[in-house]
Amino acid sequence: MIGRLRGSVVARRSDGVTIEVGGIGFEVAVTPQALAASPGLGEPFVLHTHLHVREDAMTLFGFLEEAERDIFRLLLATSGIGPKVAMAILGSMRVEELHRAVTGEDVDALTLVPGIGKRSAQRILLDLKPKLVDTDVVSLGGDSGPGRLREALEGLGYAATEIREIIPEIPHDAPVEEQLRMALKALGRQV
């Protein structure tokens, strides 16, 4: 399916963006964090995507990091959780916060998400905990390149808005040290 898009942002909506790739505009639903990190119109943007197919619609969901997309897919496999609720969860919690809540069996943290009651939170904990332990998702979030880069830049005192602007420019497959060097260079150009 469509696992990743790299193209130019041609439109922004309250719940997503349209990215033009090879002359085709893809409407992508994104979390508030991804929307805030999206660049201006005409600027390049990379999203990791999940194509959700239903009988009456096909919807493309986009994420800044593969970790978010992988957690989204695990949430969809949870009984009673659809794409809207999964996006609400990822819009309210970072991947590492969700991981911490699930592994720590913190029902209260999940009930803070709009649309998640106590029973739904308990079901998520029950379904997700074994999956997080059995997969590589345990090391996602805080250990991912963009996540570690973001933490390092925040630790150096850079504002979240500055960080969001340069994260898409940095190749996520480079070592974190190299990413940090490139990010500092990019932030130096913005001054």
In angstroms, how far apart are the furthest CA atoms of the chain?
Answer: 50
Question: pLDDT exceeding 90 applies to what percent of the chain?
Answer: 34
What pLDDT, in 10s, does the model give residues 111-120?
998 888 899 8
Question: Higher pLDDT residue, 55 or 172?
Answer: 55
pTM flag (> 0.75): no
Evaluate if residue 189 carries a pLDDT over 70.
no
What integer pLDDT is reported at residue 46 of this predicted model?
93
38-73 confidence digits (pLDDT tens): 888 999 999 999 999 989 999 999 999 988 999 999
* Lowest-pLDDT range of 16-25, 65-74, 126-135: 126-135
Task: Please tell me the predicted confidence (pLDDT) of residue 141.
Answer: 42
For residue 128, give the nearest of 152, 107, 103 by alpha carbon.
103
> 189 or 106, which is more confident?
106
Please say if the pLDDT value at position 6 is more than 80.
yes
Residues 6+ apart with CB under 8 A from 106: 100
Q: Is the model more confident about 190 or about 154?
A: 154
Pairing of the two strands 44-53 and 58-63: antiparallel
Other CB atoms within 10 Å distance of the CB of residue 154: 12
In the three-class reduction of DSSP (H, G, I as helix; E, B as strand; rest coil), residue 151 is classed as helix
Confidence of residue 143 (pLDDT cuts 50, 70, 90): very low
Amino acid identity of residue 183, one-letter, is A
Q: Which helix (H) or strand (E) holds 17?
A: strand 16-21
- The full length of the chain comes to 191
pLDDT at 64: 92
Whether residue 37 contacts residue 12, with contact meaning beta carbons closer than 8 Å, is answered with: no
pLDDT of residue 147: 66
